[in-house]
Amino acid sequence: MTQIFAAPTQIDHYVCVAKLADVQATGSLLVKSEKHTIALFYSDNQVYAIDNRCPHMGFPLHGSTCKDGIITCPWHYARFDLASGGTFDSWADDVPSFSVEIRDGEVWVNLDPPVDLHAHHYQRLQDGLEQSISLVIAKSTIALLDMGADPTKPFQMGLEFGTRYNKALKSAIP
């Protein structure tokens, strides 16, 4: 069931997205607000809100298995902490999570990103380079370019990483 609610109020950055009773009754609910499709999960008497797209391959997270505050993507089994959106798997990226408030029986979600997305994707690029995970390297680079980052910066990071470790490799060979 998808519900569509109003735009943010002028008072704060929160948007009413659902009735608390609906989320409690179903355990999870798919909602849309502005440009966001959000999966709500009810776990341990709390409502959590995450982006509905699995950052691993973009499949929907609504309907994922939820246990002990952890959801598992049904497509590739990537696992995420509901409270933070943090992944438990190095090959997947964190899923964006949203702050939630319950007001008068309604679920309100803050649509503002909680972190500096540029810094996050530069860090993920560095992580991908260090762990040699090409999918993370590609996704973080694409995200940075989509956000308008200078295209030479990710390229430069890759060159510096390769140069640094290429020198270390050559000095270790007799």
Cα–Cα distance, 25 to 20 (Å, whole number): 9
Cα–Cα distance, 124 to 92 (Å, whole number): 10
| 100-150 residue pLDDT tens | 999 999 999 998 865 688 888 898 888 888 878 787 788 889 889 999 999
CATH topology of domain 2-110: Rieske Iron-sulfur Protein (2.102.10)
Tokens of 34: 């502005």
The residue written with tokens 């973009």 in the block is 58
Please report the pLDDT score of residue 2 as a whole number.
Answer: 43
Please report the pLDDT score of residue 41 as a whole number.
Answer: 96
Cα–Cα distance, 153 to 77 (Å, whole number): 32
The residue written with tokens 């943090």 in the block is 86
Please report the pLDDT score of residue 171 as a whole number.
Answer: 59
Q: Is 118 helix (H, G, I), strand (E, B) or coil?
A: helix
Strand partners, 15: 109
Low-confidence ranges of the chain (pLDDT < 50): 1-11
Tokens of 73: 């993507």
Q: What is the pTM of this model?
A: 0.67
Please report the pLDDT score of residue 116 as a whole number.
Answer: 80
Closest CA to 124 of 140, 100, 103: 140
Please report the pLDDT score of residue 169 as a whole number.
Answer: 56
Please report the pLDDT score of residue 29 as a whole number.
Answer: 95
Please report the pLDDT score of residue 120 as a whole number.
Answer: 81
Tokens of 90: 């190095």
Tokens of 93: 């990226």
Please report the pLDDT score of residue 1 as a whole number.
Answer: 46
Please report the pLDDT score of residue 170 as a whole number.
Answer: 57
User: Cα 146–9–110 angle (5° rounding)?
Assistant: 50
Burial of 26 (0-12, 13-18, 19+ CB in 10 A): middle
Per-domain residue ranges of the chain: 2-110, 117-172
Please report the pLDDT score of residue 113 as a whole number.
Answer: 66
